[in-house]
Structure 1
Amino acid sequence: KNALENYAYSLRNSLNDEKMKEKIPEADKKVVDDKVTEVIQWLDANQSAEKEEYESKQKELESVANPVLQKVYASAGGADGMAGGVAGGMPGAGAAPSSSSSTDQGPKIEEVD
């Protein structure tokens, strides 16, 4: 429940952020904002819903918001404002850096007498 609520409110805050307002077409903003409002109203009316229902609602909201956010990131080069995990984490973010040497054996240990 908390994850869905946090996601919905942070998404709403991002949509209302001045930097984001300039980058999101009004029609897309309205679609996402309407869905956020719907989810928040659903949350208020369904305080004792099952975990699966909350997860389903979050996926529903993500399916509306993610394409819009991906367009914004693509046009902005992904370097702006709401990188704080609002989009549920961008794919590839936080991936381990690749090793330039695939034969790395780890640290060399020498015996000392």
Structure 2
Amino acid sequence: MRSTMNDKDKLADKIDSIDKENIENTLKEALEWLDHNQNADKDDFDDKLKEVEAVCNPVIKQVYENSSAADSQDGEEPNDEL
């Protein structure tokens, strides 16, 4: 997710600045949590992953939907393989 956020050729330029900030803060918090909880149970790791996904997935989904809509308006067929 972090590399996607930093890659201008992927989604970085298509994500709203507020959403980008929320994702970056979430990723930072998750990495800090990982640093301090390396001996956590698998369930704890899964819970943390779900927290990160709850922030990131809706934003990425919206970007793809907006991108597909823009492609459709440009006369291109939508790519349902995403």
Coarse TM-score class (shorter-chain normalised): 0.7 to 0.9
Measured in 2, the distance between the counterparts of 1:61 and 1:25 equals: 17
Matched, 1:14 2:11: no
1:18 aligns to what SS in structure 2? coil
Matching residue of 1:29: 20
Find the partner of 2:37 among 40, 46, 51.
Answer: 46
Unaligned stretches of 5+ residues in structure 1: 1-10, 78-91, 94-113
Q: How large is the RMSD of aligned CA atoms in angstroms? A: 2.0
The number of equivalent residue pairs is 71
Q: Show the 5 A alignment for 1:71-90.
A: 71-77=62-68
Instruction: Provide, for residues 42-65 of structure 1, a one-character-per-residue CA deviation record: whole Å limited to 9, x for no partner.
Output: 001111000000000000000000
Quick check: which one's helix share is greater? 2
Q: Percent identity?
A: 36
Q: Which has the larger radius of gyration?
A: 1
- RCO higher in structure (CA 8 A, sep ≥6): 1
Runs of 4+ in structure 1 deviating by more than 2 angstroms, as ranges, are none
After TM superposition, the score normalised by the length of structure 2 is 0.79
- In structure 2, runs of 5+ residues without a counterpart are 69-79
TM-score by length of 1: 0.58
Q: For residues 74-111 of structure 1, what are the alpha-carbon distances to aligned partners after superposition, in whole Å with 9 as ceiling and x for unaligned?
A: 0112xxxxxxxxxxxxxx96xxxxxxxxxxxxxxxxxx
Structure 1 CA distance, aligned partners of 2:46 and 2:58? 19
